[in-house]
Amino acid sequence: METLKNRYEFTLFFDVENGNPNGDPDAGNMPRIDAETSQGIVTDVCLKRKIRNYVDIACEGKEYYNIYIREKSVLSENRAPAYEDPRVKDEKDTGTKIKNARQWMCDNFFDVRTFGAVMSTKENNCGQVRGPVQINFAKSIDPVMPEELSITRMAVETPQEAKKQGGDNRTIGKKTLIPYGLYRVEGYVSAHFAKNTGFTEQDLEVLWDALINMFDHDHSASRGKVNARKLVVFKHDSMLGNAPAHTLFDLVSVKRNGDDVTPARAFSDYTVTVDTDSAPEGVEVIEML
């Protein structure tokens, strides 16, 4: 299949209601925030994890769409099949062996040829890959107010715990959340790096599908209402691109409906506008969601 021939940028909006989109383990798993602005933060690593998990489900059993960094997997074992390929196994030159192993990883793992990977370790060295798709941190449009709620479990785990509780088999836990937040994240797709990893038009369609649907397969007690709300894609008519990325992102604006005093509690409290008329020549604006 032919590799990507066009540069892309994209902007994704998603929201969370009474949930925790990305807990910070160094802060008791409280939702991440910018300490100076109190805006909510979701890391690129968190979003890539959701994309990987979705592709793992949606493309299960499909050739070339394996996931290298799967949850709880052993990476050296995931790389081991590369060294069973004859192009790698029978190669005597170390540099060429690693190059061929790197190519095998790109050919077989969607996340390697999409996001890249550092695989230059002692065991099953497959070199390093710089992926064509890069994603920024997501940031909430308005400040968010993390809350910590106490919850009660009406049972205990062991007889020892029951004895310790004096027969009152209830234990207290914590639940962290934000009442509501609308988040925005930007990303980039480089045709130049796509050529190096073999990232194709079909891979790009899988990526768009993942961005739109990934939250629907990530529900949990803390992420029950996280939803993709809008995806805007900018397609350049060339590999190098026709305009700086930041000028394209500026075409997408968010306006708060109503007053600025009442906290936002729904996506309907905002209006997202895309100024397609001001798009530079050679850039197509596609609203996918």
Residue 247 domain-assigned (yes or no):
yes
Q: What share of the chain is helix, strand, coil (3-state, %, to 5)?
A: 35, 35, 35
Do residues 17 and 178 make contact, with C-beta atoms less than 8 angstroms apart? no
CA end-to-end distance (rounded Å), the chain: 27
Residue 64 domain-assigned (yes or no):
no
Name residue 184's beta-bridge partners.
13, 139
Q: Which of 255, 216, 265 is nearest to 57 (CA)?
A: 216
pLDDT for res 160: 77
Alpha carbon 237 to its chain centroid, in Å, reads: 26
Strands 270-274 and 171-189 turn out to be unpaired
Residue 189 domain-assigned (yes or no):
yes
Q: Does 180 score more than 80 pLDDT?
A: yes
The per-residue pLDDT for range 73-121, each reduced to its tens digit, is 999 999 999 999 999 999 899 999 999 999 999 999 999 999 999 999 8
Query: Which residues, 6+ apart, have CB-to-CB distance to 138 below 8 Å?
Result: 12, 14, 41, 42, 43, 47, 183, 184, 185
Q: What are phi and psi of 256, to 5 degrees?
A: -80, 130
pLDDT for res 169: 67
Gap between the Cα atoms of 62 and 153, Å rounded: 42
Residue 107 domain-assigned (yes or no):
no
Average pLDDT, rounded, for the chain = 93
Gap between the Cα atoms of 147 and 20, Å rounded: 10
CA–CA–CA angle 226, 202, 83 (5° rounding) = 100
Name residue 114's beta-bridge partners.
none
Residue 217 domain-assigned (yes or no):
yes
Work out the pLDDT band at 175, boundaries 50, 70, 90. Answer: confident
The number of domains in the chain is 1
Name residue 271's beta-bridge partners.
255
Residue 230 domain-assigned (yes or no):
yes
Residue 116 domain-assigned (yes or no):
no
pLDDT for res 79: 95
Domain of 218, in residue numbers: 8-45+131-146+176-287
In a 3-state reduction of DSSP, which class is residue 17? Answer: strand
Residue 190 domain-assigned (yes or no):
yes
- Full-model pTM: 0.91
The per-residue pLDDT for range 34-84, each reduced to its tens digit, is 999 999 999 999 999 999 999 999 999 898 999 999 988 999 999 999 999
